[in-house]
Structure 1
Amino acid sequence: MEGKVLSLQQRIKTFPPTPHILILTSMIEIGKENELTFINKTNAGLYLSDGIDEVLLPYIHVPDGLQVGDSLSVFVYLDNENKPIATTQKPLAYVGQFAYLTVIDANEHGAFLDLGIAKDIFVPYMEQRVPMEIDEQYIVYLYLDELSGRIVASSKIGGFLQVSDFDVNQGDEVQLLITEETDLGYNAIINNKYIGLLYHNELFEPLQPGDVKKGFIKQIREDNKIDLSLQRIGFSHILDLKTILLEKLEKNQGKLNLGDKSSPDEIYKQLKISKKAFKKSIGGLYKERLIEIDDEEIRLIPKSE
């Protein structure tokens, strides 16, 4: 085969199927989204290429009107024969990501998770933090298996999280994936990289593992632990709330059935904020002579007064 450019399928057959070989010799990435070009049609489906390697797209996943030379975004995985297959189905997660997935089958060797496509994801028994049960959901990390090159997952997520050299700072807006409840609050994966904590006494809405939330870095402690908040940090947060309150008052004929004596639950029900943040906001508006306050109501002061 000297001097011959091998296809991805040939490389998998020629060499031991490890992810190192797949990554180093192929431009097509297993477990990722690939932008490929339609180059040929066969009885089994269409062949797509990145200019070097080729992968089969079965007809069941071929969009209408596709022409030779057209480009297409596809997800690529290995089938049971270690052959690369493309699909236009969008998976629930990609290699290198954390996700909250459902177990659809399990045996003594491991569990199979629903990835949202025709191919399920295997979690070896040794990669299960607790024994997985059918129909239950778990936070897992997707990666390429060293022996088969296939996409697998692990619920022992600690080893895949970065614990120092953070690229976030206090006050930054981040994406959070809620992982589990603890005595102190809820652990959450930050930007698919780090772990942080939302404290119970600072939460004003119910949370569940698998929830994806917008959050903020409250502080990064000296021990590299990260504290999180679902509310924006600092004075800018109060400015935002003041604007929101004024808009709500204007839309509600200048009145809002919330005041100094309103309960935290009622404040959160209407505004999705804590009572502490509410009182700071209305205090600022009162000092600016924009509102009047009593125990159960705030009123917008007309501009003519």
Structure 2
Amino acid sequence: MVNIGQINELEIIKETDIGVYLDGDSLGQIFMPFRYVPPGKTIGDRVDVFIYFDSEDRIIATTEKPKAMVGEFAYLKAVAVNQVGAFMDWGLPKDVLVPYSEQKQTMVEGQSYVVAIFYDKESNRIAASSKLNKYLDKEPGRYHNGLEVDLLICDHSDIGYNAIINNQHWGVLFDSEVYRPIKLGQKIKGYIKRIREDGKIDLCLQQPGYKKVSSLSDRVLKELEKQGGYLPLSDKSAPEAIYKAFGASKKAYKMAIGALYKNRQITIEKDGITLIKENG
């Protein structure tokens, strides 16, 4: 089965002067211009292609990949607005349309928005929507505390950032968990911090619990050894300096060096930490 708006592996079955035709199963033969045919590929070979509609609404194949496929979310820029809706640049020659009926707020040319990409079988077109709730999974996710996930930052509220988890569910990244600059539309790695009784999901940017501290402690030790036994970063150092050195929050760093101090592996001074070298 060939899925429109997705990557499909299809066989080249015919060549012409301007391109090749692929076996599209129930969709028939699908044309792909020569400029997209990988070097060396010929009749009988299989290629990974994205299937969508060209400017004349014909099914077409390309080896180019859009910024998001059907079932995914992306932060896209509105490059044109007319009486039909807003046209978003999604990385292909034909822009994707957000009809007015699918706009949570009226879109403005030049502005960027998080949208869901979907395939409308009734109108036989790929389109986009900023009404995100319609396209997120309504069933609870199979997550557990500490699980690494992919996040798309969508908007900011009084308590923090709302993010889409793995193209499926909402999660909240509280401001207290954000120790480095992030921006709307950014795709980042994160972790499940907690799943509440009401099903809502709290997120964090570092693996919670002991594993996080242990991992960071190991990195601090290695850096101490590399730097000759001293680092000019203490529990009083600026968060920005700590993040620049280890990509970690000040809270996590303090926990990590606290564990090392408790194990008598370092001493903590006003302006830095020193490795305790074993005698003999």
TM-score range, shorter chain: over 0.9
Structure 2 counterpart SS, 1:283: helix
Structure 2 counterpart SS, 1:205: coil
Structure 1 segment 212-251 matched on structure 2, within 5 A:
212-251=187-226
**In structure 2, how many angstroms separate the alpha carbons of the residues matched to 1:272 and 1:47?**
49
Letter in 2 for 1:68: I
**In structure 1, how many angstroms separate the alpha carbons of the residues matched to 2:226 and 2:79?**
48
Instruction: Show the counterpart of 2:78.
Output: 103
Q: What whole-Å deviation, never above 9, does each CA across 1:169-203 have from its counterpart, x for those lacking one?
A: 11111111111111111111001100111111221
Q: What whole-Å deviation, never above 9, does each CA across 1:80-134 have from its counterpart, x for those lacking one?
A: 4432111111111110111111111111220111111112101001111111122
* Matched-pair identity in %: 45
Q: What whole-Å deviation, never above 9, does each CA across 1:183-232 have from its counterpart, x for those lacking one?
A: 11111100110011111122111111111111111111112211100010
Instruction: Show the counterpart of 1:171.
Output: 146
Instruction: Show the counterpart of 1:33.
Output: 7
Letter in 2 for 1:277: A
Structure 1 segment 58-97 matched on structure 2, within 5 A:
58-97=33-72
Distance 1:284 1:119, change over 3 A: same
**In structure 2, how many angstroms separate the alpha carbons of the residues matched to 1:162 and 1:86?**
28
Instruction: Show the counterpart of 1:265.
Output: 240
Distance 1:164 1:35, change over 3 A: closer
| Alignment match of 1:202 (pick from 141, 165, 177) | 177
- Runs ≥4 in structure 1, deviation > 6 angstroms? none
Q: Does 1:190 align with 2:165?
A: yes
The Cα RMSD (Å) is 1.6
**How far 1:254 moved relative to its partner?**
1.3
Q: Check conservation: 1:164, 1:224, Cα contact below 8 A.
A: no
TM-score normalised by L of structure 2:
0.94
TM-score normalised by L of structure 1:
0.87
**In structure 1, how many angstroms separate the alpha carbons of the residues matched to 2:206 and 2:120?**
39
Letter in 1 for 2:10: L
| Alignment match of 1:135 (pick from 107, 110, 116) | 110
Q: What whole-Å deviation, never above 9, does each CA across 1:18-64 have from its counterpart, x for those lacking one?
A: xxxxxxxxx22110111111111124421011566320012232233
Letter in 2 for 1:122: L
Q: Check conservation: 1:82, 1:148, Cα contact below 8 A.
A: no
**In structure 1, how many angstroms separate the alpha carbons of the residues matched to 2:61 and 2:209?**
47
Letter in 1 for 2:263: E
Instruction: Show the counterpart of 2:22.
Output: 48
Larger strand share, 1 or 2: 2
**How far 1:164 moved relative to its partner?**
4.0
Q: What whole-Å deviation, never above 9, does each CA across 1:233-286 have from its counterpart, x for those lacking one?
A: 111111111111111111212111011322333323322222222221111111
**In structure 1, how many angstroms separate the alpha carbons of the residues matched to 2:101 and 2:195?**
33
Q: Does 1:114 align with 2:114?
A: no
Q: Check conservation: 1:163, 1:224, Cα contact below 8 A.
A: no
**In structure 1, how many angstroms separate the alpha carbons of the residues matched to 2:175 and 2:73?**
23
Q: Check conservation: 1:38, 1:46, Cα contact below 8 A.
A: yes
**In structure 1, how many angstroms separate the alpha carbons of the residues matched to 2:213 and 2:57?**
56
Structure 2 counterpart SS, 1:30: coil
Greater mean alpha carbon deviation, residues 104-113 or residues 157-166:
157-166
**In structure 1, how many angstroms separate the alpha carbons of the residues matched to 2:168 and 2:277?**
49
Q: Does 1:153 align with 2:137?
A: no
| Alignment length (residue pairs) | 279
Q: Check conservation: 2:6, 2:70, Cα contact below 8 A.
A: yes
Higher CA-based Rg = 1
Letter in 2 for 1:114: D
**How far 1:293 moved relative to its partner?**
1.1
**In structure 2, how many angstroms separate the alpha carbons of the residues matched to 1:81 and 1:281?**
59
**In structure 1, how many angstroms separate the alpha carbons of the residues matched to 2:139 and 2:32?**
41
